[in-house]
Structure 1
Amino acid sequence: MEKKRIVWIELLRIAACVGVLGIHAGSQHFRDMPVDSTVWQVSNFYHGINRFAVACFIMISGSLYLSSKRTWDLKKLWQRNILPVASAYLFWQLFYGFYRIAVNGGPKIGSMEFFKKMLVYVSKPYFHLWYLPMLMGLLIITPLVWEIVNSSRGKQWSQYMILLFLVFQIFTYTAGRFNLPWKEHVQSLMDTVHPELVTGYIGYFVLGHYLYEYGLPKKLEKAVYILGTVMIFAGIWLCQKESLMTGKATQAFYENYTFFTFMWSTAVFLFFKEQVSKIKWSQKLEKAVCSLGGCTFGIYLVHAFVRDILYRNGIDSMMIKNTVLAVPVVMLLIFFISWGIVYIVRKIPFIRKWIM
């Protein structure tokens, strides 16, 4: 029997999925347009405003996998959670490898050159598939982290891990984006310590659990909304300012580990948890939302293929002069075409479990 889904989480999952598409649609000409052009500035805006997506995906996973209502059996964890992700990763790495060879007029299938080319392509994640091995890593250590955050002092341990994540990852990484005095020496010192358990995406994983379980006081919640909004616009502005100064496009100030994106992602997650969750949905609409939410993993996997097909047919963020409108149009086209593919493919039970 399928577990009951939480509507606001499914809505956030959909928003994060659309956000990923926004990043990839908005950044199509991020590197090949003059940084003083309107097209680049629009690209920079869409690229930045959607940066909550990855962090929120991870926070959703943390809120669900680290929930106090769950218990973990290692055998089931590997069979039901880790192996399906590993299987999907392998399949889509091979799929995109075949696709790139085909569209680039690569070597004949079955030849030694073909296998060498495939080996090169599958040796590292395709540009968006990096998320899957990262997720596998989080799942592997989930039982250990679950024990920590759900112990008798679980709330305090969660706060401690988030604080360390802020100090050793978020603040350190963000400071590295600026030309500060003694920057290299301070970063070298921090990297020497570098407590591995809290310097990766696990910080967002635990943050999602904490916000889901405990939330924030109302005054602090409002402050997060304000600060998150200010921060992401500041990050977008700083990227534009530095790009104009250097003549080279940069996204340094709204990357996933910057304080700008940390605050923006936290604000978006909290907004869905505290505000969107209050909306009353009809049973029919609830079912539709949850069905769409269940397709987002597949949409994420297939959207790069759809984006490339559209691009090769002249449909991208510069297909019309008004880039402000072009980017959302491309996002929606990628989303609905990908959704259609996933909806059909998921009708096949084996594929639904092991590929998407």
Structure 2
Amino acid sequence: MPEQAKRQTELDILRLAAMLAVIAMHSGGGTGVQIFGRAISNHAFVALIVWCVPVFFMISGRFFLDPQRDVTLRRVLTKYVPHIVTAFLSWSAVFTVYYIRSGGYAGLNAFGILAQFIEGPYHFWYLYTLVGLYLLTPFLRKIAEDDRLLRYFLLLFGVMNLVTQYLVYLPHVGPVLQDFFDWLHMEAVTGYVGYFMLGYFLWHSKDRISGRLEAAVYALGMASLFGTAVTEALIAPALQEADFVKQYMKPNVVLFSAAIFLFFLRRVAKIRFSERTARVFRTLTELGFGVYCIHALVNELLPTPGALRLIRVPCIYLVSLLAAWLLRKIPYIGKKIT
């Protein structure tokens, strides 16, 4: 089947929405936002858009675990991982030069600057995680091939995630559960690999989900989303700073992220997009990795007078998009770093 026929425009749209949400999180600062004349704290606002990163991992899982796609160990090691590593090293060098010249690394010696280069800018943790998931993909595909094994993996992910993210904080019993988890050494099913597997599972199962179950997923997801935002607005500042209810791996975040992903798979997928519209979103997706790498630098450089703050997110996105588009035109290296 040609690649054109496989294209899922609904996931291209979801990628764009997630990218805008990532930029909004990184550009909001501590100012909060105004919605219908009411001030909403930045922490509560971030809680409403924190689904963006889980969705990116689920989209990756949908494609990398698909048995119909040619994702072999050879391709992982010669195509996917080298692309991420090349882009990481290139952009980390750019950010390092910028922070040296702007004074951001003032006081660091040569070893400190090298350490920052290796670590990369703050948003490059995602690239490290992607490389890890890519390296595990040949093993994960074997699990995804067996529906029972896949369900078992996700059951462990759900249970262990609930324990490690919330139950370990219960008085008296919490420390016991923490020791129990430590002794089991179940870390393999509690990280972002769970989103990777969940994305494939939801795509693989989308046509077998009943209307009643789908409605229940959406209801639970919406309740989790707004419950998270309200709780985030009410808890102590120390807990807000610690992302106690809005960290990416929290069970409530898993619930509403999965609901959003399923909605695009089941509902947005039914929209008949014109060929031109599909082509536009496909192009934006092709430029999306470059936008992710660049946007933090644009965020640093873009001025923030009062009026601009209202349109800061689209401004950062459009400038980053233009930069990525121009860079991809550079022969040989353009597509390797974007």
Q: TM-score, normalised by structure 1?
A: 0.85
The CA distance in 1 between the partners of 2:25 and 2:30, in whole Å, is 11
2:57 corresponds in structure 1 to 58
The CA distance in 1 between the partners of 2:276 and 2:189, in whole Å, is 41
The CA distance in 2 between the partners of 1:174 and 1:22, in whole Å, is 27
Q: Identify the range of structure 1 (189-198 vs 279-288) with the bigger mean alpha-carbon deviation.
A: 189-198
- SS for the counterpart of 1:350 is coil
- What letter corresponds to residue 304 of structure 2 in structure 1? G
2:90 corresponds in structure 1 to 91
2:119 corresponds in structure 1 to 124
1:227 corresponds in structure 2 to 220
2:103 corresponds in structure 1 to 104
Q: Identify the range of structure 1 (211-220 vs 335-344) with the bigger mean alpha-carbon deviation.
A: 211-220
Alignment gaps of 5+ in structure 1: 32-37
What's the offset of the Cα at 1:304? 0.5
The CA distance in 2 between the partners of 1:191 and 1:22, in whole Å, is 36
1:267 aligns with 2:259: yes
What's the offset of the Cα at 1:72? 3.6
The CA distance in 1 between the partners of 2:64 and 2:331, in whole Å, is 24
- What letter corresponds to residue 228 of structure 1 in structure 2? G
- Evaluate the alpha carbon distance shift between residue 340 and residue 188 of structure 1 in structure 2; reply closer, same or farther with a 3 A threshold: same
The CA distance in 2 between the partners of 1:105 and 1:254, in whole Å, is 29
The CA distance in 1 between the partners of 2:71 and 2:275, in whole Å, is 31
- Evaluate the alpha carbon distance shift between residue 227 and residue 248 of structure 1 in structure 2; reply closer, same or farther with a 3 A threshold: closer
- Evaluate the alpha carbon distance shift between residue 256 and residue 106 of structure 1 in structure 2; reply closer, same or farther with a 3 A threshold: closer
What's the offset of the Cα at 1:184? 2.1
What's the offset of the Cα at 1:91? 1.4
The CA distance in 1 between the partners of 2:80 and 2:239, in whole Å, is 45
Deviations 1:172-226 (A, max 9, x none): 21334x5544212212211321323312111000000001111232211111111
1:304 corresponds in structure 2 to 296
1:194 aligns with 2:185: yes
Instruction: Tell me which of 7, 20, 23 is aligned to 1:21.
Output: 23
The CA distance in 1 between the partners of 2:58 and 2:259, in whole Å, is 12
What's the offset of the Cα at 1:339? 0.8
1:292 corresponds in structure 2 to 284
- SS for the counterpart of 1:353 is coil
- What letter corresponds to residue 221 of structure 1 in structure 2? E
Whether contact under 8 Å (2:64, 2:71) holds in the other structure is: no
1:355 aligns with 2:326: no
The CA distance in 1 between the partners of 2:90 and 2:202, in whole Å, is 34
1:34 corresponds in structure 2 to none
What's the offset of the Cα at 1:141? 1.1
- What letter corresponds to residue 304 of structure 1 in structure 2? A
Deviations 1:321-344 (A, max 9, x none): xxxx946x2211111111111111
Whether contact under 8 Å (1:98, 1:118) holds in the other structure is: no
Instruction: Tell me which of 112, 137, 140 is aligned to 1:142.
Output: 137
Alignment gaps of 5+ in structure 2: 33-37
- Evaluate the alpha carbon distance shift between residue 136 and residue 239 of structure 1 in structure 2; reply closer, same or farther with a 3 A threshold: same
What's the offset of the Cα at 1:134? 0.6
The CA distance in 2 between the partners of 1:42 and 1:230, in whole Å, is 19
The CA distance in 1 between the partners of 2:112 and 2:89, in whole Å, is 16
- What letter corresponds to residue 225 of structure 1 in structure 2? Y
1:314 aligns with 2:307: no
The CA distance in 2 between the partners of 1:237 and 1:30, in whole Å, is 18
Whether contact under 8 Å (1:174, 1:253) holds in the other structure is: no
| Equivalence map 1:66-81=2 (5 Å) | 66-81=65-80
What's the offset of the Cα at 1:345? 0.9
What's the offset of the Cα at 1:157? 1.1
Whether contact under 8 Å (1:243, 1:250) holds in the other structure is: no
What's the offset of the Cα at 1:293? 1.3
Instruction: Tell me which of 231, 235, 242 is aligned to 1:238.
Output: 231
